[in-house]
Amino acid sequence: MKITKLTTYLVPPRWLFLKIETDEGLTGWGEPVLEGHAETLAAKIAELSDFLCGRDPLHIEDIWQSLYRNGCYRGGPVLMSAISGIDMALWDIKGKYHDAPVHALLGGPVRNRVRTYCWIGGDRPRNLIEGAKALMDAGYDACKMNICDELQIVDSYARIDGIVKRLADLREAVGTKMDLAFDFHGRVHAPMAKILLKELEPLRPMFVEDAVVSAQVDRMADLARSTTIPLVIGERLHSRYDFRRVFETRAASVVNPDTAHVGGISEMVRIGHMAEAYDVALAPHCPLGPIALAASLQVDAICHNAFIQEQSLGIHYNQGGDLTDYVTDKEVFKVENGFISIPQGPGLGIELDEDVISERAAQGHRWRAPVWRHADGSIAEW
């Protein structure tokens, strides 16, 4: 069997889908997207197609290593996101070839469902109580939110007090029926992060994500030693080599690599098993589309330390398209009692609606991250 064609589809709200075709009629789907850079990834896939066409799609590891190691430059968000989508699609083909879900080819599942959470509040955290209660009504028992707007490297205690009050009001409203994850989103610099972590400890968050930007692994390690709150890092790291430093410095109790950014299913599994050796939990990042979520669920099925899965149904970014718009089975990601079942169909376990994909690709998108500035005019972390 040989790869014959790669086709990308730029679809709203901010996603890029990849279809890989073969000379035996089997096709696979991946999601090689980098938010705000979808057109760049489409160009990268086109560039890599010269190398991929004619290759045996079942030789997943050799293809992965060839894409990663060939050409001198390796790692980084663009190359690894492109490899991610290709890797997903190849596993999808291999599962269909063997008429088995991906997890069955990787040793078999350790679980048949995984706990899940979704977002509330938007980029600027507003209406958190209403959002949390709506999720509870929909069957969720965990949610995540951004904790603040712009925050200077050293800001006022009035700002800190406002952040803490908003989150304390939320905790009081939902009690212990809803677990809360707080995302600092890299907006908080180390001086304020240390203060906030201390102030937020009484609210007992499930975890704090990106307490500082991912480049500051050493500072996150310092923060991890000063708080009882589990810290999370990973969505902006792009290979097991990036994560090695996190594990060695004990910078986080949880890692959240993104299957669409870190090298696909193959690399996610490697990172998940590395994390297990350090007794670090796995909580895959996925505020993305249905293909990335299906790929994440296959990883959740086989990594014992996976405990919760992010997903984007109804997230504030999903304007003009949502998870179930692109799949034929609208129940495939149904949440019951806070859990999503692991798809059991061949490959990734989902069937894409190609008519909808083609129709929406004609519309496309140009999603960009918002530009924020501080009161003094300087650029702010988003």
In single-letter form, the type of residue at position 141 comes to: D
Residue 22 lies in a domain: yes
Where is the domain boundary, 81, 101, 121? 101
The label of the residue with tokens 């809803």 reads 178
Residue 168 lies in a domain: yes
Residues whose CB is less than 8 angstroms from the CB of residue 345 and which lie 6 or more positions away in sequence, other chains included? 101, 351
Q: Residue 45: its pLDDT value, please?
A: 98
Establish whether 273 is a catalytic residue: no
Whether the pLDDT of residue 103 is over 90: the answer is: yes
The pLDDT mean for the chain works out to: 97
Is 185 annotated as catalytic? yes
How confident is the model at residue 314, as a pLDDT?
A: 85
| CATH number for 216 | 3.20.20.120
Say whether both 125 and 37 belong to one domain: no
Question: CATH code at 32?
Answer: 3.30.390.10
* Band of pLDDT at residue 71, cut at 50, 70 and 90: confident
Q: 91 and 72, same structural domain? A: yes
Does residue 363 belong to any structural domain of this protein? no
For residue 29, the enclosing domain spans 3-101
Per-residue model confidence as pLDDT tens digits over 154-176: 999 999 999 999 999 999 999 99
Residues 70 and 83 in one domain: yes
What is the per-residue pLDDT for 320? Answer: 84
Per-residue pLDDT, 330: 94
pLDDT in tens, 137-156: 999 999 999 999 999 999 99
CA dist., res. 338 & res. 346, Å (int): 25
Res 72: pLDDT: 87
Closest alpha carbon to 75 in 267, 275, 270, 274? 267
Among residues 37, 185, 238, 365, the one annotated as catalytic is 185
- CA–CA distance, 328 with 266 (Å, rounded to integer): 26
pLDDT tens digits, residue range 234-248? 999 999 999 999 999
Tell me the pLDDT tens digit for each residue of 260-300. 999 999 999 999 999 999 999 999 999 999 999 999 999 99
Annotated catalytic residue: which of 37, 238, 285, 365?
Answer: 285
Question: Considering the domain boundaries, does residue 370 fall inside one?
Answer: no
Specify whether the CB–CB gap between 229 and 207 falls below 8 A.
yes
> Does pTM surpass 0.85?
yes
Q: How many CB atoms lie within 10 A of CB 83?
A: 28
Residues 182 and 55 both lie in one domain? no
Q: What percentage of the chain reaches a pLDDT higher than 90?
A: 97
Task: Tell me: pLDDT of 316 over 90.
Answer: no
- Mark whether 82 and 137 lie in a shared domain: no
Q: How far apart are CA 337 and CA 344, in angstroms?
A: 19
Into how many domains does the chain fold? 2
SS3 content of the chain, % helix, strand, coil (to 5): 40, 15, 45
E-only strand ranges, the chain: 3-11, 15-22, 27-30, 113-119, 142-146, 179-183, 207-209, 231-233, 254-255, 281-282, 309-310, 335-336, 339-341
Q: pLDDT grade, residue 321 (50/70/90)?
A: confident
